[in-house]
Each structure stands twice: as structure tokens, then as C-alpha cells.
Amino acid sequence: MDEVKPATPAVPSTPGARVSPAQDQAAAANAVRQMFSSIAPRYDLLNHVLSLNVDRYWWWRTARRFRHILRRADASVLDLCCGTGDMTFALYRQGGSSGASIVGADFAHPMLCRATQKGAGFPLQWVEADALQMPFADARFNLVTSAFGFRNLANYDAGLSEIHRVLAPQGEVAILDFGEPRGLLGKLYRFYFRRVLPAIGSMLSGTRGPYAYLPASVARFPQPPEMLSRMRAAGFREVNYTPYTFGVAGVFWGRK
């Protein structure tokens, strides 16, 4: 069995990304924005190198799951925290030019500039927007995705609430992010993720902060049972989690 549907645990206090433990929500969001803005020029290269190019498979597999929406000409899709747009392009490739209308949104201006440059000539829309205060009408989208970006929100519950707000009835959400494998593979992965990856990322990017933050942000992110409980609390149903590549990453899914 690939999909995991654990029992509902109690939902603890609201977590969210923090670059520094003492930060409040506003300071945390600003720190994340500055951090990702600083690595925008080399973000794509570093993602592919550090993931050994497996990230391309994760985007493709997630997008493929939603072909039933992406190939509808009347559908509207949002790729939230889109970064430089790789997940957005994966969605477009599954739907094609005659498929859904797709919007990529991010609050880091340099990242969105990179996405716009890469997407020149594609019928995609790019919007600079904060995931916790989106400038979109209620029930606007049939699908909302977020690939490796939701984890960086300063308030996960507020992010889920906003996604639920902008989704149309029966709309679907997919949150793709890192996980932590178990067993011997998990030990090897944690050594790479916490020791090797930050060193390589810092060397190639010329800045240490983002790649020291990455493993800490994954450790802080809710484990699947808790995340699924938060999704239920936000109003989603049929929630589940599908691990990818032995649990190195996975996608959370739900329906409004």
C-alpha cells in the first residue's frame, strides 16, 4: 500500500517556519522572504544538484495525479509558493495549452522574476502574493498545489485556511514536501541532509543561511499524522499522504 491514512491525533498549538526561534510570525515571514530572495539566481541548479535530479520526478508524479483537473479547459489552478516555477511548469505540461488556466504565486520577488523569465512564451500567469493573505476571490481555484514551499509558511494553519478559502467546492489541494525516511536509509539520509547538503549548498550558493535552515525547517514541519489532522481541522476531507522515494518526500492531499 502506498497511501497512508493514520488515525486522527490531537492537534497541538500552531506551528510555523522560524529562521530564528525567537521570531514572531511577521519577522519569520520576512526572514524567509529575504533568505529565498538571496539564493534565487542559483536556486534551480542547487535544487537539481542536491536532490540528484529526483526533484523533477516528484513534480511530474504530483502533477500527473491531477490530470483530470489540468486537462479541463474550464479549470483554474494555483501553484502556491511557486518559487522559480518548476511545479507550475509540471502542471502545465500535464494539461497543455488547451487545459486549465494556471497561476504561479510567490512572495519572494527575485524568485518570481526567475519564474517569469523561464515561462516566457507560456500561457501562465505570475502573481506576487503572500500565501497567508492571498489576493484571490473565495472559491476561485479547482486545484491548489505547493511544492516545497508550504513548509516555509510562518503559520501552517493560517496557510491551510487560506487554501481552503480560495478553493472551489470539491476543489483539491496537494502539498508536496520533504519527509524523513525510517531505518538505515533514514540514518543515511539524515546524515546527508543535515551535514553534507548544507555544506554543498552553502559552498555553491555563497551563503550559509538557507542551507542551514533547510534541515531545521524539515525537522520542524508536522509529521504526516499531525499534518493530516491540521488539514481536517481546516475543513478538508478525504485527506491522505503518499510517500515518494522511500519517504524522502511525499504529498499531502485533500478535498474541499
Low pLDDT (below 70) residues in the chain:
1-14, 50, 205, 208-209
Is position 16 within any domain?
no
Is position 115 within any domain?
yes
Is position 170 within any domain?
yes
Task: Please give the pLDDT value at position 14.
Answer: 65
Task: Please give the pLDDT value at position 233.
Answer: 97
Strands (E), the chain: 76-80, 101-106, 125-128, 141-147, 167-178, 237-244, 249-255
Task: Please give the pLDDT value at position 209.
Answer: 67
Is position 4 within any domain?
no
Full residue range of the structural domain in which residue 95 is found: 25-255
Is position 176 within any domain?
yes
In this prediction the pTM is 0.89
Is position 44 within any domain?
yes
89: Cβ contacts below 8 Å, ≥ 6 apart: 118, 119, 122, 124
User: How far apart are the C-alpha atoms of 198 and 195, rounded to whole Å?
Assistant: 6
Tally of structural domains, the chain: 1
Q: Do the Cβ atoms of 25 and 56 come closer than 8 Å?
A: no
What are the backbone angles phi and psi of residue 224, rounded to the nearest 5°? -50, -45
Is position 199 within any domain?
yes
* CATH number of the domain residue 44 falls in: 3.40.50.150
Is position 78 within any domain?
yes
